[in-house]
Amino acid sequence: MSDEATPAAGVPPTPDRDGHFAARIAEGVKLYGEGETAVRALDGVSMTFPAGQFTAIMGPSGSGKSTLMQCMAGLDRLTGGHTWLGETEITALDEKRLTQVRRDKVGFVFQAYNLVPTLTVEENITLPLDIAGRKVDRSWFDQVVDAVRMRDRLHHRPSELSGGQQQRAAAARALVARPEIVFADEPTGALDSRSGAELLAFLRRAVDEFGQTVVIVTHDPNAASHADRVLFLNDGHIVDEMEAPTAERVLDRMKTLGAQ
């Protein structure tokens, strides 16, 4: 695919099976720096994340994939364009509302340092609910905790967990508030392959069994192969899209991206 293949401005986003969007971005532009030295991290990106889908965003380093995720998750602001989380346009929200949106509509899993070291695993998992002052739905909590197999670790501190356990706890935290969408930024980046596979299997289950929307940013073709759909990003553009990916096909596509 060539650079001209960027989806045109104003193209209506494709609806999902039920016609719902978990998240959407239109004409997203993100500039870093100013004037001559400005870097266009996102260069007019438009796309949708249908509800109940597992999407992977891939691309070489500096392609803008993390920036895309951060802007869509309300961690960062677009320089131009619009983003929505569910029905809410978050582009112009003030800091306070944005924080609320993150708290209520988004779950996060980062590459590392996902847990607050002073809190127990259980407290970490319920943290978003506690921050919001919402009640914990115990049966849902139990379901999630069992799904990530953390039941016997609930009263441990993060420092007593392995890396894989920490990431699974983070995933549980991301799900427990029933967010519209879970964003995971290189969730397996710091894990060995077995732990990584476990985590991805859990995220897959979250989509299949709980109907959760999950978006992961990764450069690992194996990780991407767990997704329903893979988006390829390069130089701030979406350059390709792949349904029902396999690790081999993704790897091939990445090779050609890298060659460009």
Partner 1 sequence: MTWRLALRDLWSSKLRLFLTGLSVVLGVAFVAGTFVLTDTINRAFDTVFSDANANTAVVVQSEEEIGQTREPLPAALLGRVQAVPGVQAAQGGVFGLAGIIGSDGKAVTTGGAPTLAGAWGTVAELNPFTLREGGPPTAPDDVVIDVSTAREEGFRVGDRIGIIPPSGRPEQFRVSGTAGFGDEDNLAGATAVLFSLPTAQRLLGLEGRFSDIRVLAEPGVSEGVLAGRVQAVLPAGVEAITGQQNAADQSEQLQDQLSIIRTALLVFGFIALFVGAFIIFNSFSISIAQRTRSLALLRAVGASPGQVNRMVLLEALVVGVAASIVGIGAGVLIAIGLRELFGAFGGDLPQAGLQLNARTIIVSLALGIGVTLLAALRPAIRASRVSPVAALRDEAPQEAPRALRRRLVSVSVFAVGLAALLVGLFAEVPNRLVIIGASALVLFVGISMLSTEIARPLARIIGAPFARLSVTGKLGRENAMRNPYRTAQTASALMIGLALVGLATIFAASLSASVKDTIEKRFDVSVVLRNEQFQPFSPAVAAALAREPGVGLVSQWRLGQFKQGRTTRDIAASDPAGIPQVWDLGVTSGAVAALRAPDTIMVSDDLASDQGLRVGSTIPARFARTGDTTLRVVGTYSETTFGDVLTGIGTYDRNFSPPRQDFLVFARPAPGATEAQVVEAGRRVEEQFPNVISQTKSEYVADVERQVNQLLNLVFILLGFAIIIAIFGIVNTLALSVFERTREIGLLRAVGLGRRQVRAMVRYESIIVSVLGGLLGLVIGVALGTLVVSRVPDVPVLSIPVGSLVVFLLLAAVAGVLAALGPARRASRLDILKAIQAE
Q: Which residues in this chain contact partner 1 in the complex, by CB under 8 A?
A: 70, 75-76, 95-96, 99-100, 102-104, 108, 110, 113-119, 123, 127-128, 130-133, 159, 173
Q: How far is the CB of 99 from partner 1 (least distance, A)?
A: 4
Q: How far is the CB of 260 from partner 1 (least distance, A)?
A: 26
Q: How far is the CB of 91 from partner 1 (least distance, A)?
A: 17
Q: CA nearest 106: which of 14, 46, 16, 23?
A: 23
Q: What is the Cα–Cα distance from 257 to 212, expressed in whole angstroms?
A: 30
Q: How far is the CB of 200 from partner 1 (least distance, A)?
A: 21
Q: What is the Cα–Cα distance from 79 to 94, expressed in whole angstroms?
A: 15
For Cα atoms 188, 98, 143, give the angle at the middle one, nearest 5 degrees.
Answer: 45
Residue 103 or 249 having the CB closest to partner 1 = 103
Residue 113 or 193 having the CB closest to partner 1 = 113
Q: What is the Cα–Cα distance from 190 to 69, expressed in whole angstroms?
A: 19
Residue 156 or 229 having the CB closest to partner 1 = 156
**End-to-end C-alpha distance for the chain, whole angstroms:** 10
Residue 75 or 154 having the CB closest to partner 1 = 75
Dihedrals phi, psi of 161, to nearest 5 degrees:
-105, 155
